[in-house]
Structure 1
């Protein structure tokens, strides 16, 4: 029998924060329905008989005395067939269905609509039979959804049970019972979906070492500042530095089965652009729309502030659900700064003591609770499968200041840090990842992966290239003061090589048919070829070959253009370019002999 809760009433209102009294037995993080329109809210604080509620919808027009109703449940996500290809708001409501109920694009408050369509039928194929014993995470059957086999699993916290009934192969809605289990004489009916509280990480068997590169096809990321499957990364950068394009590239090309994109507090025009362009992106794996294996959460800056916080946790719960199927998931959040700003506003409404820049003192804990839900794990059940969730969070520091609290706290909890540089962006150097301010903790653990997938000692090549770039950075400062001509020939050669690596390797055109993605083998061969010029040109300085003549070699232009050569033609073009380079260098030596 469904429990009936006594109704309280609004005491007073402070923006999105509502104080309600007479909510006997109320619990922190419990969802409540506020006012005559039953707006969705969540209890964040209890003081005696008064509950403090953050409301996820506009509170304009609410007045003291209106009813507040407890639900007895925490904020939860619906997990089941129908998630892929959907565009949801921060509370998991499908925007298309909400707009239909609202009768247009101007969405009114108080609309209740489930995440998963209740009328759509899915073809269920059972993989267990009556009498089988199952436990948490075991697969009951599968549903084909888009490009994946959606596994209908025994929800966590169900326990070890015996299958007493299982639906035959056929079409069912998510509300129909597809299995009946028995545990200690108690029957449990399971549907194709279940709910999970978004603030609680979903359980797994074991967390594994992150040793497999999350291939993005972006050279500066994969080679210099890699992220692994189950890893974490932050992408900080000011306006116009290319955060959104970088996240789009990763979403499109990352070696992942499912993409979850959370637009948290972004400008409405940027989110609109995303919603128009994302469905048009073609999945390079299947040739079908990328949206078929994606979940989009749209929570724009003009939407209620508390919903930003909910959207982040809603997105990571969806990601964990697909991870539990043994899939590899990428979650991109754009941006966590807007989420932190929402925490700051709510904290001030609650009159909490502020910390640096007005943020609440618990900001680091919140950031940690988000990034710590990433990982590569052995999933529940008797499947011996591995799934992963990689989290990539964009950070939008005010004025591009990377020393502000959100960026600094995020750096403590992520394994990779891609610092976008406005100066590089203004010079049309994209991705504008600054190689001096970025880092990755995953580099050393990927040596075996690179050897296996490229056949080259990529770690040594990376170390040599980074050394050249770092030394050249210091020389560029000197050259700006005294002029490049005042430098030694060796230092001028170092600057030439650094420019070659930047132009021929680090700069990558996201809109070029070939250069938009670079395979591991091509990355290794390309970087080796660019470094080979430096190795072969350096001894020529001892013969007296002037650097001015090396700068005019036609083979350098050819090396720079190698990145635009299609994969099938690359080896032949590379061989010819290196032969031309060798011939030109030999000719220079002959001229000075």
Structure 2
């Protein structure tokens, strides 16, 4: 049979058209031209096919050939992923650097994980055993923190007719042969999976647990659920990348997949330099032992940027299927949407709002709906949580990417330019942000933190909302004309904002705060508010409260009370009661 080949007839950046394409399939991966550039078929009309190319097309000529690979754009999933740094189509950047230096040269091919590296394998099954899809048949200690579980690929069930013993193998060696009654399947250490197809699960479970991040404004005020979705929108300089770095460092996910899709090179360089130096707080080992980085900067091929989030989510689903809780940081989906816009423009499609393609909402939905808390094919409970940064131009949240993202995410953590310029980090605006997970997480907080945790959060949020209204009056007539009860609200709001919501990523005790300490801090502020309110009703001037040492101590308690506190909060609460009792006694006396 003759080899299937198309012939290039038109080139427009990463988009090319070719004839003789009627035998190709939609979403098939192809090689383009003499340099064998990697591409993917995105439309077929008669014998004319359109291909988006994931590499630079400079030097490509009309008349060159397009060859079929017979499979969709896929990634190899096996040992060697954790701790690695890939480009948007899972080519290791270390391998690319060794082969072509500081720039990605064309025609490197679809390199992925190292198939020749030897791994120590512990085989858990034997000949004669019956296995099903998703079953773990062997394990590999991939890093000191992660045990890589080798699974039977989806769709394969049957009896083992051949099994290797424990030993050292590379990824291409056959470890098992499984007879399903029709075919004998060779099972290796890796699977291949098309990136645009979600991996199957047994059941999607209700969301009931929070992703603990150690960031007070998130954990207490706007929690993100394990298996949930969140957006972090903000203009330039508001701290999107910094917030995602904090979540990557401190969230209680087992594995972090960090996707830099289209950010500036210096931001990804910072990630690549910082992450290998970071120490995982739970194990005191490098954080890279449980992190995967996908770097696709703004000067890399635009089509590969579009593929990068699918590569990342597929890798995340693979580790979820092993029973791990995985968190994805996508930075930023706006740059990814811009890649969609550029490709759509080159395809001469009818644009929708602000030039974005009309299918932008459905593409965003396809991405975010791959998050979830699930029962895997192997009967484990596991999750994929997606946290996507959004970069609206000028911080305008009314633009299409932010508005469409808002439709599909459960938590919206809006960053505020004024807070960021005032050096208030995380610059999450408590008035424009929200979490849709409060109702589903309420019982978890009651059982694991405190019965009144969510009520306390609601009371403090009401203080901040009341402060917002009062500030409008203050702008007009000044603070001095307000009664002391309302001036107290302004002071308590200051305690909440500076003493609680503002967090120092570079302070050893403040960069990560356990939930119990978050609750006790908020309880101290509430106790202070209640007693201050009482003394003001008795006619004691607010200046006595505002100028007290106790007020300043509460502002600084995030630094003064360690995370492994014992009696410090009890002492603090006693000091509050004693101080206000003495204030009333002195006034009445």
Moved over 6 A (4+): none
Unaligned runs of 5+ in 2: none
How many angstroms does 1:153 deviate by? 0.3
Corresponding residue for 2:36?
38
1:233-277 CA distance string (max 9 Å, x none) = 000001111111110111111111100000000101111111111
1:350-385 CA distance string (max 9 Å, x none) = 11111000111000000000000000000003xx31
Structure 1: distance between partners of 2:538 and 2:52:
75
State whether structure 2 residue 285 is matched by structure 1 residue 291.
Answer: no
How many angstroms does 1:591 deviate by? 3.1
SS in 1 for 2:227: coil
1:90-142 CA distance string (max 9 Å, x none) = 0100000011111x212211102531112211111111111111111011111
CA contact (8 A) 2:36 2:109 kept: no
1:433-492 CA distance string (max 9 Å, x none) = 000000001112222212222234211001101111101111112112211111111100
SS in 2 for 1:570: coil
Corresponding residue for 2:550?
555
Structure 2: distance between partners of 1:566 and 1:210:
33
45, 48, 56: which one aligns with 1:47: 45
Structure 1: distance between partners of 2:467 and 2:439:
24
State whether structure 2 residue 559 is matched by structure 1 residue 564.
Answer: yes
CA contact (8 A) 1:181 1:189 kept: yes
Structure 1: distance between partners of 2:82 and 2:448:
30
Structure 2: distance between partners of 1:395 and 1:514:
29
SS in 2 for 1:200: coil
Tell me whether 112-121 or 124-133 shows the greater mean CA deviation: 112-121
Corresponding residue for 1:117?
114
SS in 1 for 2:565: helix
State whether structure 2 residue 511 is matched by structure 1 residue 511.
Answer: no
State whether structure 2 residue 475 is matched by structure 1 residue 480.
Answer: yes
* Pairs within 5 Å for 1:404-415: 404-415=399-410
State whether structure 2 residue 321 is matched by structure 1 residue 324.
Answer: yes
How many angstroms does 1:514 deviate by? 0.6
- Tell me how large the CA RMSD over aligned residues is: 1.2
Corresponding residue for 1:437?
432
162, 175, 180: which one aligns with 1:178: 175
Structure 2: distance between partners of 1:571 and 1:539:
29
451, 463, 482: which one aligns with 1:468: 463
Corresponding residue for 2:190?
193
Corresponding residue for 1:396?
391
SS in 2 for 1:150: strand
Corresponding residue for 2:11?
13
CA contact (8 A) 1:234 1:416 kept: yes
Structure 2: distance between partners of 1:220 and 1:184:
56
Structure 2: distance between partners of 1:290 and 1:202:
26
- Structure 2-normalised TM-score? 0.98
CA contact (8 A) 2:134 2:377 kept: yes
Unaligned runs of 5+ in 1: none
SS in 1 for 2:370: coil
Structure 1: distance between partners of 2:375 and 2:563:
37
Name the CA shift for 1:4/1:276 in 2 (closer, same or farther; >3 Å).
farther
SS in 1 for 2:257: strand
CA contact (8 A) 1:553 1:584 kept: no
CA contact (8 A) 1:6 1:24 kept: no
Structure 1: distance between partners of 2:133 and 2:538:
72
1:36-75 CA distance string (max 9 Å, x none) = 1010111111111010011111111111001111111100
Structure 1: distance between partners of 2:181 and 2:2:
27
Corresponding residue for 2:525?
530
55, 58, 61: which one aligns with 2:56: 58
* Pairs within 5 Å for 1:143-158: 143-146=140-143, 147-158=145-156
